[in-house]
Amino acid sequence: MTLIAPAQRDALQNWLSHIKSLDDAAQNTLDAYTRDLTSFLSFLTQHFGETSGISALKAVGQRDIRSWMAFERGSGVSARSLARKLSAVKSFYRWFGEHEGFEPTAVLSARTPKFQKKLPRPIAPDAARAMIDTVPLQSEKNWVGLRDTAVVTVLYGCGLRISEALGLLGSDAPLPDVLRILGKGGKERIVPVIPAAKRAVDEYIRACPHPIEADSPLFRGIRGGALNPRIIQGVVAKARMQLGLPATATPHALRHSFATHLLEAGGDLRSIQELLGHASLSTTQAYTAVDTARLMEVYDKAHPKA
């Protein structure tokens, strides 16, 4: 059982309420913060040998932070995961320092563990087209196959996150030439809609047995409710196995493929950043590494080393 002082638990809940109301954080983000901070606060209880509440939080020094990080690494936590946990702790302490009127320098100055960033794993253009063609074969119901095709086409053709695609409403149909998408952190972006995505959605709507009302989800489940993202993840998993594609060929990989294929076709990096809704250009620049890695792979095959 996790043992945390009531005052610390209250501070955690107040912080979560703060970021939920001001930053409009997604529930998944809040859940991750809760897990990370609960783990950290539990460690402090064991580390200090008592549940001394707020005073223990203020007393945390660099040595304590290093002890916590060593404990996490010793428990099998990867450098990437520890970096995420430390980021959550720092975010909490920024708020906590302002709230309690002290400077949490020891925590904020802790160095983030170095780790090798994972590059996006896109699939080739012909594989993306094959995926779109194979997805509808996973369902016995024609309208469900057309629905799944429409979702996958929107993911690849518009570069949307699966949550963004499934967040579309009936009022968004028929799809216009451009969509206004509300992404992470409430950041709005304009996304062009390719003709293939328009056609796929139109065909799905004509076949859908459930009425598509303006304020209801555009993509429906079998019983008419909002479509669960796990359904699309499962359909894509079946299709990739039929096609012999790697496990990295997921719905999110279609978004990566959208960006990579645009870049390969000569797309401007800044424009691609805007289309994807990345807050930082450095996030989008990961695709240049993908492009370079692919170029070097081709080079190595053409010029094998002796």
What residues are annotated to the active site? 161, 184, 252, 255, 278, 287
Q: Which pair of tokens denotes residue 292?
A: 């370079």
Q: Which pair of tokens denotes residue 107?
A: 């925590």
Handedness of CA 79, 123, 299, 273 (dihedral sign): negative
Which residues touch 12 (CB under 8 Å, ≥6 apart)?
4, 34, 37, 38, 41, 92
Please give the biggest Cα pair distance in the chain: 67
Q: By three-state DSSP, how is residue 295 classified?
A: helix
**Residues of 257-274 as b/e, b for ≥16 C-beta within 10 angstroms?**
bbbbbbbeeeeeeeebbe
The rounded distance, in Å, linking the Cα atoms of 8 and 189 is: 38
DSSP states along 210-267: S---TTSBSSB-TTSSBPPHHHHHHHHHHHHHHHT--TT--HHHHHHHHHHHHHHTT-
For residue 77, count other CB atoms closer than 10 A to its CB.
17
Cα radius of gyration rounded to whole Å, the chain = 23
Q: Which pair of tokens denotes residue 129?
A: 């087209």
Scanning the chain, the segments in alpha helix (DSSP H) are 6-22, 27-48, 54-58, 62-74, 79-100, 105-108, 125-134, 142-158, 162-166, 195-207, 229-243, 251-264, 269-276, 281-284, 286-302
The rounded distance, in Å, linking the Cα atoms of 221 and 166 is: 11
